[in-house]
Amino acid sequence: MNTKETGYIIQDYSQPVKRYCQTLELKEDAALIAQYVTAHDRKHSWSDIREGIRSVGILEMEIYIHDNHLFMIVETPLNFNWQEAMAQLAKLPRQEEWEAFVSQFQKCAANAASGEKWQLMNRMFYLYEDDEKDTALRRV
């Protein structure tokens, strides 16, 4: 079983991928945080939302939590366009309903779209031996 102590196995793709990282804060309320976590488990998460995420070209999405701080990793093909995908995602059936539902847990405006709530993060460090991977991503 994967845990924070043993680490998390990542998907191996047959193609190079790129990653987007985002952050968001939840309201500082243990009961609300527990409900938010439950809403994202396999049993309670909305299949329409998972299907919509994949339909805009996202290969994998992971959310990590520490206290009320969330960190999301999104893996996509190299030709993925973030702005276009987020605009498309916002228009999918049930997405607006999902965003309204989860906004009760999040420190954000109740009517904010996912792309407005989650803040993209800048990478400030990486351990690659050389800059080849980073340079390849900048060319895309």
pLDDT category at 79 given cuts 50, 70, 90 is: very high
- Is the pLDDT confidence value at 29 over 70? yes
CB 113 within 8 A of CB 90: yes
What's the mean pLDDT when you consider all of the chain? 91
Domain boundaries, the chain: 17-139
* Mean pLDDT for the stretch of residues 42-71: 97
* Mean pLDDT for the stretch of residues 82-108: 94
**Can you give the pLDDT at residue 27?**
97
Residues 6+ apart with CB under 8 A from 18: 75, 76, 77, 78, 80, 137, 140
Pick the CATH number of 17-139 from 2.30.36.70, 1.10.645.10, 3.30.70.1090, 2.60.40.3710: 3.30.70.1090
| Long-range CB contact pairs, 103-112, < 8 A, 24+ | 104/32, 105/26, 105/27, 105/32, 105/33, 105/35, 105/36, 105/39, 106/24, 106/25, 106/26, 106/27, 106/36, 107/24, 107/25, 107/26, 107/27, 107/68, 108/24
* Mean pLDDT for the stretch of residues 75-98: 95
- 35 vs 41, 64, 104, 112, 128, CA distance in Å? 10, 15, 10, 20, 38
Nearest alpha-carbon partner for 137 in 71, 56, 79: 79
- Is the pLDDT confidence value at 133 over 60? no
- Is the pLDDT confidence value at 101 over 90? yes
Query: Count of CB atoms within 10 A of residue 118's CB?
Result: 22
Q: Tell me which of 120 and 131 has the higher pLDDT.
A: 120
CB 22 within 8 A of CB 122: no
pLDDT category at 113 given cuts 50, 70, 90 is: confident
